[in-house]
Amino acid sequence: MTPTTIFAPFLAMMGLTFVVWLYMYIRRIRFIKGNNVNPRDLEKPGELARISPPAISNPSDNLKNLFELPVLFYALVLYLWVTHQTDDIYVAAAWVFVIFRALHSVVHCTFNRVMARFTLYIISALTLWAMIGRAVLNYIAAT
């Protein structure tokens, strides 16, 4: 493993964010055009969310989720790389985080079963917190 291997899940997470962003806009544009929604009516904040069914608003909510815990993931990956701490354990955990975030996005953007989504979310979140905890312990041990 090279130290830059950690960037594969990092870039995959960015790719997931792009896919959800694209999916969200495809769904929104189809909804707006298909329902003859006047774009001027959407100038009021929150109006699109108010008039949209969940199949249209859920991808937007998921995109917002991708700018919550994943921000810590990006920062952690950069920290690990800069401090030369990347190893097979971190890379494997990073992939677990990304895979479960991707599964969470699939559920959230499609059939949206809350308990399935929550389970996927908690697995990804606990993986990230374990990675952060390990980094903190390594930092403390080194100082």
CATH of residue 85's domain is 1.20.120.550
pLDDT for residue 125 = 98
Number of neighbours of residue 114 by Cβ within 10 angstroms: 9
pLDDT band at 139 (very low <50, low <70, confident <90, very high): very high
| Lowest mean pLDDT across 37-46, 57-66, 75-84 | 37-46
pLDDT for residue 1 = 83
Distance CA 108, CA 91 (A): 25
Average the pLDDT over 44-60 and give the result: 94
Of all residues in the chain, the percent with pLDDT exceeding 70 is: 100
Number of neighbours of residue 117 by Cβ within 10 angstroms: 20
Distance CA 101, CA 88 (A): 20
Does the pLDDT value for residue 121 go beyond 90? Answer: yes
Does the pLDDT value for residue 102 go beyond 90? Answer: yes
Q: What is the mean pLDDT of the chain?
A: 97
pLDDT for residue 82 = 97
Place of tokens 């959230």: 108
Domain count, the chain: 1
Average the pLDDT over 126-142 and give the result: 98
Per the structure, the complete domain to which residue 52 belongs is given by 3-142
